């Protein structure tokens, strides 16, 4: 006979609320990161439209865009880690 661990009445309800909170937090952080990425893309396109330059300027804009997007991803990961709570199962 296998002995299953006892499940307390509030465990299921709390686990469901915790799962919903984590999902909402992930969505919030992802939306903020995608907004920062969209801003970086808009700035890169605007810089390309208004500033004269050749191939070197285009590569510089691409590198700046990539750095900005990576910084936004790092910021969002740090924010998610800071805002998330632990749940002892």
Average pLDDT, stretch 26-43?
A: 91
Q: Is 76 exposed, middle or buried (0-12, 13-18, 19+ CB in 10 A)?
A: buried
- In the chain, the percentage of residues whose pLDDT exceeds 70 is 89
Q: Are 76 and 26 in contact (CB under 8 A)?
A: no
pLDDT at 89 over 50: no
- What confidence tier does 68 reach under pLDDT thresholds 50, 70, 90? very high
Mean pLDDT of 50-59: 87
Sorting pLDDT into bands at 50, 70 and 90, what band is 66? very high
**Residue with the larger pLDDT of the pair 66 and 18:** 66
């Amino acid at each position: 006979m296998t002995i299953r661990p006892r499940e307390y009445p509030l465990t299921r309800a709390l686990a469901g609320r915790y799962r919903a909170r984590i999902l909402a937090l992930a969505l919030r952080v992802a939306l903020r990161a995608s907004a920062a990425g969209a801003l970086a893309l808009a700035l890169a396109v605007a810089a390309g439209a208004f500033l004269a330059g050749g191939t070197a300027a285009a590569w510089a804009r691409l590198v700046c865009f990539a750095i900005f997007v990576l910084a936004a991803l790092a910021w969002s990961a740090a924010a998610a880690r800071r805002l998330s709570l632990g749940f002892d199962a």
